[in-house]
Amino acid sequence: MNDNYLKVARLAAAAGAEVLLSYQGRFSVREKAPRDLVTEADVAAQQAIQKILLSNFPDHGFVGEEEGHDQVSAEMLADPKHPPIWIVDPLDGTVNYVHQLQSFAVSIAMYHAGELQIGIVHDPVTREIFWAQRGAGAFLNDCPIQCSQTDRLDQALLACSFSAGTQHDSAELGRFAAALDGAQSVRRLGSAALNLCYVAAGRLDGYWATCVKPWDVAAGALIVTEAGGQIRALSGDRFDPWNPRFAATATEPLNDQLLRCIA
């Protein structure tokens, strides 16, 4: 793996984070769909990130929340000769950002040869930078991190994500109720990327989602696995970052219990 990939990705994440901070309190908001927001800051941050990544690696692919997700094929993803693909969420936690709730992040992952290779999640407010490179462990700034050792659902602090416009009779709320009954407690924090990083750092014991997109979770998923955690599809199969319906947990026994509870 080219060490320059990680260096440039960190620069790009920092640039995106600075854009988000600079736009706070002075952006306009529109709806992509009911209750699904996008701001000028999303677009500007993605442009800054994309410029840095593709100016350094012009032959690489780019999939961002605001563009490019319709240009990826299964053949492209499986081909080890295809150039790496960057998967970018310039603002994960848009609703939090719009309401000035200080829990949002920039998420950048690199996918190559059928695997996630690099993951970076940059919290602009706390200046915490979670990152991982396949086979090299997970880090918070310059310190190694690892998941908790929690292996019982009734002792676990969990987080979850709901889709925009979740209905009262939805399966998502059914899963939430089941987890509330089985776990120590459940949180809905508003940023999928940070949820995964908090699992990696031992702040949460587990996180599940059925309504997120690849750019929301690709970086965080690698960070969890490199921190010793478990992540599987709700079916129990191997996690697929391009179809992310999953449970991520600190330990394998906890993953088994959470999947039985919510799947």
- Amino acid letter for position 62: F
The C-alpha atoms of residue 259 and residue 263 are separated, in whole angstroms, by 5
Q: Is 89 one of the annotated binding-site residues?
A: yes
Q: Which residues contact 119 (CB under 8 A, 6 or more apart)?
A: 107, 108, 109, 110, 130, 131, 132, 218, 219, 220, 221, 222, 223, 226
42 annotated as belonging to a binding site for a ligand: no
40 annotated binding-site participant:
no
Question: Closest Cα to residue 10, out of 150, 108, 149?
Answer: 108
Q: Is 65 annotated as a binding residue?
A: yes
Q: Is 91 annotated to bind ligand?
A: yes
The residues facing 247 across adjacent strands are 208, 232
Q: Which amino acid is at 14?
A: A
Q: For the residues of 198-254, what is the DSSP string, one character each?
A: HHHTTS-SEEEESS--HHHHHHHHHHHHHTT-EEEETTSSB--TTS--EEEESSHHH
Neighbours of 123 (CB within 10 A): 22
Collapsed DSSP state (helix, strand, coil) of residue 160? strand
| Distance (Å, whole) CA 131 – CA 168 | 36
Give bridge partners of residue 30 from the DSSP assignment. Answer: 38
**Which residue ranges are tagged as binding site?**
65, 89, 91-92, 216
Annotated binding site for Mg(2+): 65, 89, 91-92, 216
